[in-house]
Structure 1
């Protein structure tokens, strides 16, 4: 057997240098014997010996791997390379050693015979590469890896048929906000497990960031397979999660794009799946939608609306209208609710339902809400004493640290009696960070303003909030005044709310009153005020004075002339 011999050893000074080189170095002489193996080479090959046989075996394995990678020579790698000028791999090749270490090896032949084999341990590097393509929280592929895999599958000349599913978790933010990010992270891990459980081995499952996931489903040439997977995903994601003593309920909205039907460009397919996801959310969430061409047009229209909405405040396109609130005992106007309108130069009057949710999503509602407070107080300052103004406060405004200062500034600038300003909030403002919101309400209340709960009766926790905060008024949702449903049942609910309000010292206002019969029913059941088209449609600031000059509304009559 060939082996290292003392007379063929590397000179001492060079041997010392090689021992300090990063990586393993094995010098082989023209006879195929190991002239020198530095310290790191000896460590990498332990418990084997860096003799000629060990090196020959290692080179054979490296050569075989290199040949497989290049799909070149078909020679039998078991014969092993001869230590000649053209033998062995000439570029770094990965191989696993008997010790379990993964090394990259390269052989550099010398014209005079023999050569140098260099080895670099790759384990840590490979782990780094793996982490670079893996989401550390869930162990799924990350965004970059999904994009790479999608590019590979769609590469010409034969892009594969596939579908891309974008998944967004519904109500996940509420978990983070109420139970904290550690609980949210644990929930994401559970969701990832469920996604794995319903996908195939060749599907690519990735976390895109936050609470968004994506799946590549290769071989999906028609919508049937994608629809079946989407239905399954919605079903498993919507099951209750038991984590650390908490039972959590979320859902999933899914958007789907398909290749080649929707194109074969990776970025374009991802964009279209995202558009379809937006369509699923718009359809009520906890469902799925396939991409269609109209989605892009709707997105462009939405983006145009976003740009115009951001400019609307600076261009003074917002207006306030005021709807009367009438005291049932006296028939007189007791106050007005300020209603926001967007008067667009081309679109005309944009309904609040079309732009307020978008303003909340963009955060634009905060400066707009501050303007509403200032303008409503400024207008109300010119009204007779005792006539109040109610302003709706968005849940987004409660998450802004500026709310208290905004209310205080509006009162100071208008010099209005604080008791004439009423802030209306919905249960949505209290659902998340309830303690924080209640603290803000108490600070605002300390200024002397009044606070009412709007749309009372539509939420599941309305009663509990009445116990935690002394509201001045309860506004009964219009669904209990009119609309579908058994009249006796709605009347019983109104009676119960009015009785509850009276027992807690809170006024009760019935919204949406449109007929004299409805108004008399609200009076009979104990409501203190009504608001609706019967007692007055929203008025311009100029018409408020004329409305206040009109006589009180007698019981049982129609709209005030």
Structure 2
């Protein structure tokens, strides 16, 4: 294997050249070798004595055996150490997360279990409702809510698809200890999928001052139909209005804003942003159109007109959402929209569900998309539900398998690594696209089990090959990294397969690098053991020179997004060059994904890109064909395109 030219890289960090003078794309840096040597000393005097004896006895074979034995002992010790550190770290992270959830909020915090029972209430609940926080533990949260308001809460509390980046806001009447009804606005975050929290978190605020006097018999029903932040009608008001007779054609346009939930904003700033968005959307409306807030903070317009009118309006609404000035900078927001007709024989709840299906479809297509509901979306929703259910047992039934796609060095004209890709052959649906089932897996704890299985299978498959240098890259989900199980999972896969750590590449997304410190610690441990870390889909997320400096990263994988129309778009070509230059300045090889034709291959090679991956070389190979060794990507590209280079 060969490596990309490294510019400006410190000598201590340059890859160690193997016999023959060539360095590997994924070779262990000298600094890493020094750390590994230090780890050997730390392994204990007994281990050192055994190894020293073996080394002194003879060379060659026994040296190899000694190193192999030391590797096993170090791996075992590292596993025990990692597990102990993980348990301790998990407790610390859990406590830290808990403190952050409570202390970062000026509003009272209530934490619920899966059955909506209160497991924690901050001291602020005493000021909010006159209740002793200890006295409410174990109570169902809905017990204190006005009967007329309970119907809208379960949907906000349990969407069935927990996504921590999204929040729901609900307003309901809650009884104070003095018997009065208080109007409480609750911001709900579903963190049940977060291993450090595992609960529903409610941030509660008293907004009674924005309503009529709240005496024991006060009628707050009118205000309970209003979103207190924006002043718009809320979902309950929308359902009521949809239930009225519509003599003229009507439709719904649902708009979802992205970028707000992931931003860290002060409460006053967030309120100002929402009100500015409300103003922008209102200005895009026509005379009889009616704007409201929907589920999970979406905006909904009851359109006075046909479905075609709704599509035209939705496009204007999406275009109205854009960067917003905030203190200290600008907030980048995007939007998508879904539209559906309001029909006389369709009840309000079903009309909204249809709009939400169209909205989800638009979200899959990307920012700026507007999709119309049709019955095919309902079929897709049923399919999605069936796949979510069937995926739980797919591994046990043997329906999952790995395929491998080569990464090619176009200078040396040889395969340097393969990427392991997960595939699912469903008994009824046939081949299911990874873009469809992987997100389903990532919504559940199943992704951790799948990740562990993929690691072991990939390492085992490549370890059995005749090529002693070929590396394998494995994608690791953010959830698997955050559980703290990654180090023992990797060590287990290496030990079971016999694959050297230097031949394993762990691929992570950019967002994982921005996670808390324990993630970086785990990645650093893996690098010290010789495992390489690659940033997958580089350039589509938080790409920044600042975050890459000092991070435990060895390889950048440039997303195929940059290759769209790259032959004719100067801006795309400039971005391809910029990523290559960034990698070179940091001493990081760059692998370009998604290369599908020879003209793009030639363009990238002429730019200086050396490591390419895509259909132009080979489609993903089944494990059996990989093991048989009857594939050679060097014959897939004509010699004039990839001339042989003497080593």
Query: Do both proteins adopt the same fold according to a TM-score greater than 0.5, normalized to the shorter chain?
Result: yes
Post-superposition offset of 1:402: 4.2
Residues 123-522 of structure 1: pairs in structure 2 closer than 5 A:
125-126=217-218, 128-151=220-243, 153-154=244-245, 162-175=250-263, 178-179=264-265, 184=270, 186-196=272-282, 205-217=291-303, 220-223=304-307, 226-227=310-311, 229-236=313-320, 238-260=321-343, 263-327=345-409, 331-360=413-442, 364-383=446-465, 385-395=468-478, 397-398=480-481, 400-427=483-510, 429=512, 433=515, 438=520, 441-456=523-538, 461=543, 463-477=545-559, 484-486=566-568, 498=580, 500-512=582-594
Task: Determine if contact 1:456/1:462 at 8 Å carries over to the other structure.
Answer: no
Post-superposition offset of 1:186: 4.6
Evaluate the alpha carbon distance shift between residue 499 and residue 225 of structure 1 in structure 2; reply closer, same or farther with a 3 A threshold. closer
Three-state SS of the structure 1 residue aligned to 2:218 is helix
Task: Determine if contact 1:517/1:556 at 8 Å carries over to the other structure.
Answer: no
Evaluate the alpha carbon distance shift between residue 191 and residue 412 of structure 1 in structure 2; reply closer, same or farther with a 3 A threshold. farther
Evaluate the alpha carbon distance shift between residue 271 and residue 550 of structure 1 in structure 2; reply closer, same or farther with a 3 A threshold. closer
CA distance in 2, matches of 1:258, 1:535: 47
CA distance in 2, matches of 1:506, 1:205: 50
Match of 1:540 among 608, 611, 622: 622
Post-superposition offset of 1:329: 6.1
Evaluate the alpha carbon distance shift between residue 208 and residue 404 of structure 1 in structure 2; reply closer, same or farther with a 3 A threshold. farther
Task: Determine if contact 2:567/2:600 at 8 Å carries over to the other structure.
Answer: no
Other-structure match for 2:25: none
CA distance in 2, matches of 1:464, 1:381: 36
Post-superposition offset of 1:421: 1.3
Instruction: Tell me the TM-score normalized by structure 1.
Output: 0.62
Three-state SS of the structure 2 residue aligned to 1:342 is strand
RMSD: 4.4
Evaluate the alpha carbon distance shift between residue 287 and residue 530 of structure 1 in structure 2; reply closer, same or farther with a 3 A threshold. closer
CA distance in 1, matches of 2:282, 2:633: 70
Instruction: After superposition, give the CA deviation of every residue in 1:426-485 in whole Å (9 maximum; x if it has no partner).
Output: 44655x758786565435434431112334456672544433425322334557779651
CA distance in 2, matches of 1:513, 1:166: 37
Which segment drifts farther, 248-257 or 321-330?
Answer: 321-330
Gaps of 5+ in 2: 1-212, 643-647
Three-state SS of the structure 1 residue aligned to 2:460 is helix
Post-superposition offset of 1:300: 2.7
Instruction: After superposition, give the CA deviation of every residue in 1:335-380 in whole Å (9 maximum; x if it has no partner).
Output: 3211211122343333333433444456754432232122212333
Post-superposition offset of 1:168: 1.7
Evaluate the alpha carbon distance shift between residue 462 and residue 248 of structure 1 in structure 2; reply closer, same or farther with a 3 A threshold. closer
CA distance in 1, matches of 2:501, 2:556: 19
Three-state SS of the structure 2 residue aligned to 1:168 is strand
Q: Which has the higher contact order (CA 8 A, sep 6+)?
A: 2
Post-superposition offset of 1:169: 1.4
Evaluate the alpha carbon distance shift between residue 159 and residue 312 of structure 1 in structure 2; reply closer, same or farther with a 3 A threshold. farther
Gaps of 5+ in 1: 1-120
Evaluate the alpha carbon distance shift between residue 382 and residue 141 of structure 1 in structure 2; reply closer, same or farther with a 3 A threshold. same
Three-state SS of the structure 2 residue aligned to 1:556 is coil
Post-superposition offset of 1:422: 0.5
Three-state SS of the structure 1 residue aligned to 2:621 is coil
Greater radius of gyration (CA): 1
Evaluate the alpha carbon distance shift between residue 558 and residue 353 of structure 1 in structure 2; reply closer, same or farther with a 3 A threshold. farther
CA distance in 2, matches of 1:144, 1:131: 11
Instruction: Tell me the TM-score normalized by structure 2.
Output: 0.55
Which segment drifts farther, 407-416 or 241-250?
Answer: 407-416
Task: Determine if contact 1:205/1:216 at 8 Å carries over to the other structure.
Answer: yes
CA distance in 2, matches of 1:209, 1:551: 51
CA distance in 2, matches of 1:286, 1:491: 24
CA distance in 2, matches of 1:532, 1:300: 33
Evaluate the alpha carbon distance shift between residue 165 and residue 530 of structure 1 in structure 2; reply closer, same or farther with a 3 A threshold. closer
Other-structure match for 1:114: none
CA distance in 1, matches of 2:576, 2:301: 49
CA distance in 1, matches of 2:633, 2:315: 61
Post-superposition offset of 1:410: 3.1
Task: Determine if contact 1:520/1:556 at 8 Å carries over to the other structure.
Answer: no
